[in-house]
Structure 1
Amino acid sequence: MLNNAHIPTGYDPNEYFFAAKYRQGGRTVFSLDLSVRELVTFLPKPDPEKPLDASATQRRIVPTHAKQFGTYVVEQADWVSPPLLLRAPHIFEFDSRQDLDTGTTQFGTLAVPKDAKSEIAIVDGQHRTLGFHLAWEQLTADISEARTLVGRAKELGERPVIANAEKELQKKVDRRDALAGERVSIQIVLVENPETARRIFLDINDNAKGITGSVKSRFDDRKVLVRALNAVLISNELLEGRVDLEQDRVSGASKYLIGAKHVSEMLHALTNGKRKITPRLEDELDHKNIAIEFTAFTDAIAAAFPELRDVVAGSLTPAQVRSRSLIGSNVVLRAIAGAWFELRQLGWKPAAIQEAFAEMAPHFAVPVFPDVRDSWFQTGVVPARSEGSTSTTSRVQDMKTLTAFIVSQAVKGPDAVWYRATVADPALVVG
């Protein structure tokens, strides 16, 4: 009698998985889980180049998004993925366990015909599926390359080189083995036509609530700036109770001074200016030091700008600040943070920067009227409105322009020339 471990499976027309069977929205659903290795074998690799036709039930694939997910899975040991939702016609056999029937859910074995897997299509999760394929392919390629390097090292016969090459090979093999044992939830809904599949896809995405930048900037504490953000949100006097933790847009009558996303951008500016936080710098930075620098910055601007002093004292609301000074604009606050970094790079001490900002403060009054002589309007980042503007535009290039202007005026000090218009030039008003 053959041992189960040696029963040939290549002749079986089916593949078998433990699964649950239940109803959702009037449809039959099978729920199972696959390891990453099983997933890339079981599910065909999505093709970003495949043209979409009238029967398509998905949007066009963005390869970069899929690649980023694959890199995330490979590099993050604590990766996470929601279930993949697939659709298929009635091609399965399900052998249920009568002793494991809850009345609404059955448990048993799902038989999937090997020659019918092409009939299984993705409803939601095509980028993740492609990402898993790319991750597995990359790991396999890396392992192959690492084996080659081990072979070359052995030819050289240098023990330290051999040991290092074998260590790198083992690291990659261990990562692939780990993914081979970690699992992804799969839901297969029985659907016969693409029209129904499209409605399911629409319902999923129509009912999903996206994540705002403010929420995202607070939750990924693997990043040093996120740890710094969460630290300053609970300890900074200027921010206390004045940061919108959910929304990215803070303006007008909002009781908040700024959004968490904007605080994160200020932290970035104070840490590395306009440059990216590289992986190497990420490892070198300490979130506590970033928080200390941020506190020095907010203490300085609260002392330099009377409106912010009044906010801290409770005698002025953020909405009132926005109606009186550009310092109430989150765009300008971010530019001020960028200017702080640039001046610090020039060797300025916090006290000197505070003094320079204090000299500028009276010239931050709003509204800014369209007038070619007005110092702020000359920057080209202030909308031309007949009633004047209380903030600037916020494109990346606009932020650079604002930062450069503030730095320039600070460096000029008492010699800086300021002109503030009191009425709009009708010839410049748009619309």
Structure 2
Amino acid sequence: MVPLTCRGFTACGMAAGIKKNGSLDLGLLVSDRPARVAAVFTRNRVQAAPVKLDRERVKSGAARAVIVNAGNANCANGPQGLIAAEAMAAAAARVLNLPDDQVLVASTGVIGAPFPIHTVEAAMPALAVGLSPDGVPDLARAIMTTDTRPKTGAREGSVDGVSYRIVAVAKGAGMIRPDMATMLCFICTDADISLSDLQPALKRSVDGSFNRITIDGDSSTNDTVILLANGASGARIETDNSRVDFQRLLDDLCMDLARQMVKDGEGVTKLVDLTIRGAHSDTDALAIADTVAHSPLVKTAFFGEDANWGRILAAAGRAGVFLDPERLDLYFDDVQMVKDGTGCGWEAEEKATGVLKKPEFSVTLDLNLGQGRASMLTCDFSLDYVKINADYRS
């Protein structure tokens, strides 16, 4: 297993008193030297103050630190929200002896609650003292909301015998859907990679991972993925081969974190790898995958371990793309449930019910029309999801 450390980076997490339960709720990630920065944000038209602030600051292409809190989203707070986000960055900048605009901000938690900026400012000196090369696990815990466990990962590569790492933390368990998924993710690498390569690499990884998962179909106001690259390892990503290797590692890391998020989704008991193949195009396949993955009827059937394949076909048929109902083949793992649009009988359903009892399984729908293909990670809808979200603020 690759250690959760990255040269030139320190991190920490602490309980500052933002959350009611006394758990960790304030985190910091710092590069000891100038770092290039790439970022992807929510597409929700209602955006939190930290997202608005970071959108402007990342345009410079450089950053040194990220300060993040859980327990309060700092969203829908009017002008005071942006003032608080700027003050949060300024407080971190003071203790780190950095320019304010070199500090990025992220928040997650309840929308519309006044932001406790004085609590954050009071905790900042202790937070800075806690910075450590081994602080990534605490950072991961500090950004959790309804998550039941921290989400971390690391990958290691090399260029001409010089090794480098990519290390990441993420949070997300509810309000998750493709559209920059609902989450926070902070990635650091000690590789030396140009800004012109860094942003496209991050976007590609996000599109193939966090934009291919769904838990409940909702999109948040605070979604942020930030990637800092400080070059401390001396490994230079500047050839075609090194770019391909870096992209592969980043893709794999983001997909790992995406799977961790869905497995830890609010009330989730089933992780489902959904694949649509045989479509006229990848675009058509993705439209069907998106519709099936978000269907409440499909997701409740997964929870009930009910091989109700008709719900899947019905969802596919309303996706707005062409399909021939008499060509559809459907599989749960390797059990064929439907052939040429017709069910394969009770024996197949009994085998499929056995598949549905597993915590992880695959569903494959073959349209038998072309080469188009798309995949998504989805899950079930359980009673616990309703309970968690019915009293989230209390």
Name the one with the larger strand percent.
2
Query: Highest relative contact order (Cα 8 Å, sep 6+), 1 or 2?
Result: 2
Q: Same fold (TM over 0.5)?
A: no
Name the one with the larger helix percent.
1
Question: Which structure has the larger Rg over C-alpha atoms?
Answer: 1
If the length of structure 1 is used for normalisation, what is the TM-score? 0.24
